[in-house]
Amino acid sequence: MIKVVILDDHLMVLEGLQTMLKNDKNITITNTFNRGKKLLEFLKTETPNIILLDINLPDSNGIDLCKTITTSYPEINIIGLSNYSETGFVKNMMRNGAKGYLLKNTTKTELIETIKTVHSGKTYLPKVLKDKLLNESFGVQSSSFVPKLTRREQEILSNIAEELTNNEIAEKLFISIKTVESHRKNLLQKFGVRNTAGLIKEAFTKGLLG
């Protein structure tokens, strides 16, 4: 029996995943969580085979959390869950120890296949993400690729371009510094860059900054 734990802060996602998996005789969901801290507490006493891990969490960064878990519990296999199909997110999750990556619009068949594939010691990526990574490796993905930004991400990007600090951006937009840091991380992931200079350069190239 494959023991699965799910971490996602959206109740509908948790319920949807549970519904898709409940009738498979080889998979059992041992617990679900909506906060990273609660999952880490749970792992001190129990060790699942698989964790379905949301990347965008309110109390932690899923990519960093993935590294923390795989470092402390290398026997646990992690499958990233996200609405983001940008290759930067995929590559960083895999670099931090994930064995698979699924988009949240995945099918029941693909979800079960991914869990069983990863549990057998292999890695799994949906075809659409494999194709993106392959194209990128051959230089096919060019400046024509424009990441989809939320309204808040666009605001943060514009303020970064004006050389405002995280503190200044937080004060200007009436949000917490932690929220600014989270958006900044997401922007780096979406553009597939490592620092602010690369972010600004790519944003100008793709016409997202005037």
How confident is the model over 99-133, as pLDDT tens digits? 999 999 999 999 999 999 999 999 999 988 888 88
Q: What is the CATH number of the domain that holds 200?
A: 1.10.10.10
Amino acid sitting at position 18: Q
Q: What is the CATH number of the domain that holds 49?
A: 3.40.50.2300
Both 117 and 199 in a single domain?
Answer: no
Both 163 and 87 in a single domain?
Answer: no
CA 119 – CA 2 distance, rounded (Å):
8
Q: Point out the domain boundary residue: 108, 137, 166.
A: 137
Both 33 and 87 in a single domain?
Answer: yes
* Residues in contact with 70: Cβ distance below 8 Å, sequence separation at least 6, in sequence order: 76, 78, 96, 97, 98
Both 90 and 173 in a single domain?
Answer: no
How many structural domains is the chain composed of?
Answer: 2
Tell me, what's the pLDDT at 140?
52
Both 62 and 158 in a single domain?
Answer: no
For residue 155, what are its two tokens? 């605001």
CA-nearest of 188, 186, 184 to 167 is 184
DSSP codes of every residue in 8-50: -S-HHHHHHHHHHHTT-TTEEEEEEESSHHHHHHHHTT---SE
Please indicate, yes or no, if residue 143 is contained in any of the structural domains: no
Give the residue with greater pLDDT, 150 vs 146: 150
Both 94 and 196 in a single domain?
Answer: no
